[in-house]
Structure 1
Amino acid sequence: MLTTPDTPAEPGAPAAGRTATKTVVLLREDLAAWQRLNVTAFLAGGVSAAHPELLGEPYADADGTAYLPLLGQPVVVLEGALEVLRAARERAARRELPTAVFTAAMFTTGHDAANRAVVAAVPGAELDLVGIALHGPRSAVDKVVKGSRRHP
């Protein structure tokens, strides 16, 4: 639930304008610009598919042209080294937070089934991660991505 300045704060509730949950995309720091954009788009799609309740209402302009809905809360984009991504993936798994992954091998495939196959061929701890995304309680997500930094 999104809060507004008019929403009364309950004890322990997030500050006005903040949600109790958080969506994060964590990218590997050594990606090319086009890779960062591509990975972010794929991972945000994964979060949207897993959490349709995050989608807002469709948009329309003053002319009546309809547009697709967007995520109803910000997506925080962070970065870190491969070790940071692997640690975050492991912490998310320990906390049972559903996580989307994108591996370096996925850049070489041409379709979804091939993407799943290259991920399935490698144990989780050994994935050559270039990005992960997750959505969950704000404090849990913050603990998972500890050690990362804001994307410039």
Structure 2
Amino acid sequence: MTRSDIRFDTKIAVLLRDDLPGWQRLNATAFLISGVTARWPQLVGEPYADADGTAYLPMLGQPVLVLEGEGPALVTAHERALRRELPVAVFTSDLFRTGNDEDNRAAVAAVPRAKLDLVGLAVHGPRNAVDRILKGARMHP
């Protein structure tokens, strides 16, 4: 088996609402993946270095799938993740109007779970569980 044939027991995935402008998709993805990395630091690989010995930061050691769906798909995926008791990172539309972590957390805390305007979420867990949570979403173009 070559390294490219490695099959991970877990999956990392981001689901984004399909009507977001490009900059919002990228911003939300970066924030959501930081949540996965903070929760599971063991997913981070070793530091990188080029042939000249220049050191670079480590990154996640497994692929991240980025999917998209309409608003209701995010609500459904969110509900499925919570039912399966899988930790989930959320990004709401309000977070595009805040500028720091404290304000971000306050914006989420101000809204009941059923009324969150989800524009993105990230989940990490067993492959089959993540697949079931994201069923119906499509790969981001």
Which bin holds the TM-score, normalised by the shorter protein?
Answer: over 0.9
Does structure 1 residue 28 correspond to structure 2 residue 33?
no
- Aligned residue among 34, 47, 51 for 2:36: 47
Structure 1 runs (4+) deviating above 6 angstroms are none
Q: How many residues align?
A: 140
**CA positional deviation for 1:6:** 6.3
Residue of structure 2 equivalent to 1:145:
134
Does structure 1 residue 74 correspond to structure 2 residue 63?
yes
Residues of 2 paired with 1:121 and 1:90: CA distance?
19
Over alpha carbons, which structure has the higher Rg?
1
Give the conservation status (yes or no) of the 8 Å contact 1:102–1:129: yes
Partner of 2:96: helix, strand, or coil? helix
After TM superposition, list the pairs within 5 Å mapping 1:87-102 onto structure 2.
Answer: 87-102=76-91
**CA positional deviation for 1:125:** 1.8
TM-score (norm 2): 0.96
Taking every aligned residue pair, what percent have the same amino acid on both sides? 65
Hey, which of these two has a bigger chunk of helix by percent?
A: 2
Partner of 1:141: helix, strand, or coil? helix
Residues of 1 paired with 2:86 and 2:118: CA distance?
17
Task: Structure 1 unaligned segments of length 5 or more: list them.
Answer: 8-15
Does structure 1 residue 61 correspond to structure 2 residue 58?
no
Partner of 2:59: helix, strand, or coil? coil
Task: Structure 2 unaligned segments of length 5 or more: list them.
Answer: none
TM-score (norm 1): 0.89
Where relative contact order (Cα < 8 A, 6+ residues apart) is larger, the structure is 2
Residues of 2 paired with 1:124 and 1:101: CA distance?
11
Residue of structure 1 equivalent to 2:26:
37
Residue of structure 2 equivalent to 1:13:
none
**CA positional deviation for 1:82:** 0.9
